[in-house]
Amino acid sequence: MRLLTVIFFLLVTAFSYGQQKTRILFILDASNSMNARWGVQTRIEAAKELLANTVDSLAGVENLELALRVYGHQSPITATFQDCNDTKLEVPFGVDNHSRIKYRIRSIQAKGTTPIARSLEAAAGDFPDTSTRNVIILITDGLEACDNDPCIIAQKLKDKGVKITPFVIGLGLDMSYLDKFNCIGTYAEAETKEAFQTVLKSVISKAVLNTTVEIDLLDINKKPKETDVTMFLYKAGTNELMYTFMHTLNKIGLPDTLNIDPQYTYDLVVNTLPRVEKKGIVIKKNTHNIIPVDCPQGYIKTRLTNATRPYQVETRVMQEKDGKTLNVQQINTSDKYLVGKYYIEVLTLPRTYVEVEVTQSSTQTIDIVAPGNFSYKSGGNIIGQVFVISDDGKIDWVCNLEDGARTGQWYLQPGNYRVVYRNKNMRSAAFTVEKDFRIYSNKTTSINL
């Protein structure tokens, strides 16, 4: 009784933080082979006793529903007949159905064949939906009699979102068949009733006392409100990617709960702009782990204020004091960035430079005046360059004319310009020519050179 009390305490503790609902389907082998002696009892007697005690210990556990499926208990096996469809959901999932399950367990008689794979296939339909943690615990003496392929069944179970933990009671039996259950999960073998009790406790602990992880992407106020970004979890200190998640907030606005193997230490990469890294994350077993990561974000939006037609303009975004390109953002789009200062190079001609500071959940808008079109044509092959003339008279290079071309065009920002050129065949600087022109938004300026 002391063992059952400990199990109950651990289960209640596991559910105290309000994790998602778990459904456990017990599949009990009631085939004729389970009538074999096992110490002072038969295998079926021991299995029924310990399973009933386990179900009793789970009464009152929040967010947990149980069900019972049995096979081999309806049609006796004979020398000439075995019923491979002898599998039945005896007690479906429901709230507070523990007494029903215990009552049904007590009345089960082992007498038929062993359709393990068909029972697993049928079990996929026993779960009402896939929104919960769906777990199967199979108690069997391990001999499949109907020769179905468990790997095919395994795929059907995975499609249903069902996790299976095969549990085997074995007394020197051939377990090679159950190696195929590696397609689905793992199994344990018990050679005594005491070992069965210990392993059943372990299986229940793994099924219900599951390790969960919540990654909180914190805003500037340390609230877990940031979301909708990809996260990578690597085995710590390596490039071995273990998990990929798109961060999600659930229906009540809290970070989604994740199931992550606690045996590893992890390095986390949150793919914000710029990305955020957190190294050496240790996952504690059998508890709900919260991993806080500072990811406060806002938006940068670029737009053409007076465009009469679409223009293809790119924006190069850099972090403060870092000349590397963080992102290339198209005009008239909005992208999300971590809170902080950024330098923006709008790839207009000439270049437009802006410094912005991104703040929490706000949008910093960069307005760019629509360009105009500069076109030229010449009676001969020319070489030359285009310069912009600022209001204070400063002259800066903008672009080069195509070497030897007679025509060309560029989109230029509104302003005053000068083109300096000469005939490519003239070998004297004395033939240099200058022409000034002005560019207006959404209009074409054409000149003859």
pLDDT recorded at residue 3: 29
Domain 2-208 CATH (choose: 3.40.50.450, 3.90.1170.50, 3.40.50.410, 3.90.380.10): 3.40.50.410
Confidence bin at 253 (pLDDT 50/70/90): confident
Q: Does domain 212-294 have CATH number 3.40.50.261?
A: no
pLDDT tens for 371-417 read 999 999 999 999 999 999 999 999 999 999 999 999 999 999 999 99
Q: Concatenate the DSSP letters of all residues of 58-108 into one string.
A: TTT-TTEEEEEEEESSSS---SS---TT-EEEEEEEETT-HHHHHHHHHH-
Q: Indicate if the pLDDT at residue 166 is higher than 80.
A: no
Each domain of the chain, given as residue ranges in start order, spans 2-208, 212-294, 297-368, 372-448
- Token pair belonging to 425: 């065949």
- Number of CB atoms found within 10 A of residue 31's CB: 27
pLDDT recorded at residue 59: 86
State the DSSP code for 346: E
**CB-neighbour burial class of residue 251 (10 A; exposed 0-12, middle 13-18, buried 19+):** exposed
pLDDT tens for 192-216 read 788 788 878 777 776 666 678 999 9
The helix/strand/coil state of 448 is strand
pLDDT recorded at residue 182: 56
Count Cα neighbours of 445 within 13 Å in the Cβ-side half-sphere: 21
- Percent of the chain predicted with pLDDT > 90: 58
**CB-neighbour burial class of residue 120 (10 A; exposed 0-12, middle 13-18, buried 19+):** buried
What proportions of the chain, in percent to the nearest 5, are helix, strand and coil? 20, 40, 40
pLDDT recorded at residue 265: 96
pTM: 0.58
- Token pair belonging to 343: 């330098």
Average pLDDT over residues 113-141: 84
Q: Which residues pair with 241 in a beta bridge?
A: 234
N-terminal to C-terminal alpha carbon distance within the chain: 101
Average pLDDT over residues 170-174: 49
Judge contact between 98 and 56, C-beta under 8 A: yes
Return the minimum-mean-pLDDT range out of 35-49, 53-67, 142-156. Answer: 142-156
- Token pair belonging to 31: 């085939």
pLDDT tens for 65-83 read 999 999 999 999 988 899 9
Q: Indicate if the pLDDT at residue 433 is higher than 50.
A: yes
Average pLDDT over residues 247-274: 89
Taking all residues of the chain, what is their mean pLDDT, rounded to a whole number?
85
pLDDT recorded at residue 1: 28
Q: Indicate if the pLDDT at residue 164 is higher than 70.
A: no
Average pLDDT over residues 308-319: 92
Q: Indicate if the pLDDT at residue 16 is higher than 50.
A: no
Average pLDDT over residues 14-32: 73
State the fold for domain 297-368: Immunoglobulin-like (2.60.40)
- Cα 156–Cα 199–Cα 260 angle in degrees, nearest 5: 55
- Do domains 212-294 and 372-448 share one topology? The answer is yes
Confidence bin at 5 (pLDDT 50/70/90): very low
What angle, 0 to 180 degrees and rounded to 10, lies between the N-to-C axes of helices 2-14 and 43-57? 50
pLDDT recorded at residue 15: 35
Say which CATH class 372-448 falls into.
mainly beta
- Cα 321–Cα 324–Cα 328 angle in degrees, nearest 5: 120
